[in-house]
Chain A
Amino acid sequence: MRLRAYAGIGALLLLAAAAWPADGTWDYSEIQNVPEKQKVKTNPMEKDPEAAMAGKILFEDHCEECHGANGEGKKKAPSLRAREVQEATPGAIFWILTNGVVRKKMPVWSKLPEQQRWQLVSYIKSLGVEDTKK
């Protein structure tokens, strides 16, 4: 009976894992939905020469798994080098990091202190636009 319960739980977890959704098409509309007040926020780390370097380490630790080593995007998360992201204001990217896009599997990253989120913004903005969109 107990073994059956464990098997049931195991099957449930495997099912949850296997149910990872198929590719999405990324419309980046969430950036447009950022409140205007947040969009105009400036990056307090903009002039910190080490901000992007620190942001790169944070990116490798927390973002690379889904967004790819160079932010080029993977099947499950959009490219951060798309024009929509690179042309977004630092405040808009910061807001997305803080709030996530929970319904589309992008977690909330407010557990990183504000300074670290701005360091991430510095790094993401330093990636530049990639010619071929994912």
Chain B
Amino acid sequence: MKLRELRKFFWPMLIAAFSFFNARSSHAQENPYIVAYDHYLEEPGSLEIEYFSTIGTQRGGPNYHAYWMEFEYGVTAWWTTEVYLSGQSTFGDSSVFTGTRFENRFRPFKHEHFINPVLYVEFENINGADKIMKEVEGHDVESDYLTPNNEGKKEHKHEMELKLILSRNYKGWNFTENTIASKNLTNEPWEFGYAMGVSRPLALKASAHRCTFCRQNFIAGVEMYGGLGDRYSFGLNDTSHYLGAGIAWNMPQGWTIRVEPTFGLNGNSHQFLMRWGLSYEIPGFGRKVSALFTGRQQ
């Protein structure tokens, strides 16, 4: 599918979704992480539509703009499922659709614990032009991104990715660590990576008045992520690492904006990435769709 076709398909669908499911009062409570996950799943029946964008600097080649759409649905309080569609534009080259991802997160325990695990399983059907850097793993390095789009898109990758998400909230702070293992389903070795983050709302008490700019609506944090080599060469050799400082602004009516300037930490990393995202939550989406098909009153 070409990027042009993708756009043709998406925007009308998005507008239709926003107007048809026109959510009432809703207020997301999203953390500022772009790469790391905490242990919170989507509320059951809610759909979150997200757009993320990464503008990356590239030594030895043109800079690029990679982007993805994410549809996240809370099936139950212990299972969240997501579909991703991604693309990228390399300046002075072209824009390409880079593939799809299908992700599921499961919460194995019913109560909160000292550390809360979440299991993450993802199937990726992407091509070699993919640059969204939803995570960094194995020996991913900056020079991998020099391949021109018309060559990169010819390479098809089917990957399985597993994550163990360990997260804890303590006195308003969130601490999270993700261990990543990924496998190209052709005969390639397991690759490993990590992501970790810390975040906290700027105020812990909610205001007694509805407000858009109250401190409690802003959550600030830092995250760090990078590769850990593969099965045959585990470690930090020939890997890239990043540190980003971000803020999430949870606005009324379910909108959230995240901004995260990110810096490469070694010579193998992109020097700078500007990452941001916009998301919109539709509470009760499942019930509304269910009512459409069954005629049941909500």
Interface residues of A (CB under 8 A from B): 2, 5-6, 9, 12-14, 16-18, 20, 50, 53-55, 57-58, 60-62, 64-66, 74-76, 98-108, 110-116, 119
Q: Does A20 contact B45, Cβ atoms closer than 8 Å? A: yes
Pick from A12, A100, A116: contact of B205, CB below 8 A: A116
Q: Does A98 contact B29, Cβ atoms closer than 8 Å? A: no
Measured in the bound complex, the distance between the Cα atoms of B32 and A91 in whole Å is 30
Q: Does A20 contact B286, Cβ atoms closer than 8 Å? A: yes
Q: Does A110 contact B112, Cβ atoms closer than 8 Å? A: yes
Q: Which residue of B lies closest to A8 (CB)?
A: B102
Q: Does A107 contact B293, Cβ atoms closer than 8 Å? A: no
Q: Does A103 contact B78, Cβ atoms closer than 8 Å? A: yes
Q: Which residue of B lies closest to A16 (CB)?
A: B75
Within 8 Å of chain A (Cβ to Cβ): is B206? yes
Q: How large is the interface on B (under 10, 10 to 19, 20 to 34, 35 or more residues)?
A: 35 or more
Q: Say whether, besides A13-B73, A110-B169, A114-B204, A61 and B25 are in contact (CB < 8 Å).
A: yes
Q: Does B171 contact A65, Cβ atoms closer than 8 Å? A: no
Those of B20-77 within 8 Å (CB) of chain A: 24-27, 29, 31, 38, 40-41, 43-45, 71, 73-77
Looking at chain B's contact residues, the main secondary structure is: loop
Hey, what's the 0/1 contact readout for B196-238 against A, CB within 8 Å counting as 1? 0000010011111110000010000000000000000000000
Q: Does A108 contact B77, Cβ atoms closer than 8 Å? A: yes
Contact residues in A for B76 (Cβ distance below 8 Å) = 102, 105
Within 8 Å of chain A (Cβ to Cβ): is B19? no
Contact residues in B for A57 (Cβ distance below 8 Å) = 206-210
Q: Does A76 contact B287, Cβ atoms closer than 8 Å? A: yes
Contact residues in B for A65 (Cβ distance below 8 Å) = 24, 26, 283-284
Q: Does B284 contact A17, Cβ atoms closer than 8 Å? A: no
Pick from A60, A111, A114: contact of B171, CB below 8 A: A114
Contact residues in A for B209 (Cβ distance below 8 Å) = 53, 57
Q: How far is the CB of A32 from chain B (nearest CB, A)?
A: 15
Measured in the bound complex, the distance between the Cα atoms of B77 and A37 in whole Å is 25
Measured in the bound complex, the distance between the Cα atoms of B111 and A5 in whole Å is 35
* Most A CB within 10 A of own CB, among B45, B174, B208, B210: B208
Q: Does B73 contact A16, Cβ atoms closer than 8 Å? A: yes
Q: How far is the CB of A109 from chain B (nearest CB, A)?
A: 9
Contact residues in B for A14 (Cβ distance below 8 Å) = 289, 293
Q: Does B77 contact A107, Cβ atoms closer than 8 Å? A: yes
Measured in the bound complex, the distance between the Cα atoms of B111 and A133 in whole Å is 27
Within 8 Å of chain A (Cβ to Cβ): is B148? no
Within 8 Å of chain A (Cβ to Cβ): is B15? no
Contact residues in A for B107 (Cβ distance below 8 Å) = 102, 108
